[in-house]
Amino acid sequence: MLDMKLVRTDPERVKENIRKKFQDEKLPLVDEVLALDKQFREAKLRGDELRAQRKAKSKQIGGLMAKGDKEGAEALKAEVNAMGDELTALETSEGELQAKIREIMLVIPNIIDESVPIGRDDSENVEIERFGEPTVPDFEIPYHVDIMERLSGIDLDSARKTSGNGFYYLCGDIARLHSAILSYARDFMIGRGFTYYIPPYMIRGEVVSGVMSFAEMENMMYKIEGEDLYLIGTSEHSMIGKFIDTILPESSLPQTLTSYSPCFRKEVGAHGIEERGVYRIHQFEKQEMIVVCKPEESMKWYDVLWKNTVDLFRSLDIPVRTLECCSGDLADLKVKSLDVEAWSPRQKKYFEVGSCSDLGDAQARRLGIRVKAEDGSKYLAHTLNNTVVAPPRMLIAFLENNLNADGSVRIPEALRPYMGGQEVIK
């Protein structure tokens, strides 16, 4: 959410940013919110004037009563009462105007970084760099579910019976591999100085609206019937929500956190749920990294975060590339975003396995996350998040890139301690 002062002082910059995101239908919102803001400030100014006048007249009433001028005192009381009625109406109006302003401000997109490439959608995202040599073996790579089934590692049919499409049972060595990757990712991030968390898996509505846009919420979040609780789509939601309405000492920054959680997603939209596969599903697990920092350190941490993911995938012999998200592909809260994509030898292309995002002060403004400087001044923190690893997408990349010709799967050395020393899955 933008600072209203920015909209007020530089509305053309806000409109140009909307154009860069190809959301021209939102352009009228800028003028609408400016008109509402003017009404709000006029109502507030009038209210402040009335309060000052009422206070002064109240003192005069006491003086008149002391002099025995009851008639004069009663006349002033009538004026004070009339002021009270007007104040009540103004306060009601202020509240309604504030709610309307916030509703619109939640829809106006955040100002994107100058370095973001301009494009309409993900087809115009820009490749930045490749890490590792993408190779295609001289034997056929089966579909990932076929690999798992041959290793007695997945049961989709039973999951359909219990839960429907978009769910799965993992079993045997594949289930162990899934847990091993998460444990390895946890220790990998702890080794890089991040504090490990297991957060709540449900959050309140005010936290949901603080960490994401309404459109994202509608397409992603499951609501608990009869309660103000939502199942999280990623642990970032809980972890950023942890700081709601807090004032952090500047000396405590940066806060560098890594969190594990199951994730639950509706997956509403064009992509939908896969009938047979585990790339796009309703339930999965994830290791996340979150940073709360000073504004001037925001971009530095952005680079640290995505490099962590690249390093983790390369430590497991998986080639990856980084892809800069263009303006039209950025969610409204994001200042800048980069996807990490893993190589698929079967498809002979890269696919998304993680996303790194700098949200500037947007989440902090919505949730009231402030920092107290040494001089006593306060300012909004910046928040960032990035995927460390998210099985089962990671499993797809892992299995395809470590598959042997005989159908067995090699376990890279870094992961063997988490697999009981096992070197291969047969």
Catalytic residues: 265, 280, 352, 355, 393
The tokens 């898996």 sit on which residue? 201
Relative to beta strand 230-231, strand 222-223 is antiparallel
Q: How far is CA 287 from the centre of its chain?
A: 14
Strands 246-249 and 369-372: parallel
Kindly report the CA angle at 314 between 309 and 316, in degrees rounded to 5? 105
Q: What DSSP string describes 344-363?
A: ETTTTEEEEEEEEEE-TTHH
Of the candidates 286, 339, 336, 109, the residue with the CA atom closest to the CA atom of residue 212:
109
Distance CA 182, CA 226 (A): 33
Q: Which residues of 66-89 are buried (b: 16+ CB within 10 A; e: fewer)?
A: eeeeeeebeebeeebeebeeeeee
The residue written with tokens 């049972």 in the block is 169
> What is the rounded CA–CA span in Å between residue 333 and residue 325?
13
The pair of structure tokens assigned to 231 is: 């199942």
Helix 393-401, helix 172-190: angle, nearest 10: 100
The tally of CA atoms less than 13 A away on the side-chain side of residue 364 is: 24
Q: What angle do CA 137, 142, 144 make, to 5 degrees?
A: 115
* Alpha carbons 237 and 210: distance in angstroms, whole number: 9
Query: In sequence order, what are the beta bridge partners of 154?
Result: 170
Cβ neighbours of residue 277 closer than 8 Å, sequence gap 6 or more = 143, 144, 145
**What is the layout of strands, in order, in the sheet containing 378-380?**
246-249, 369-372, 378-380
What the block records as the tokens of 50 is 């009335």
In angstroms, the CA 48 to CA 92 distance is 14
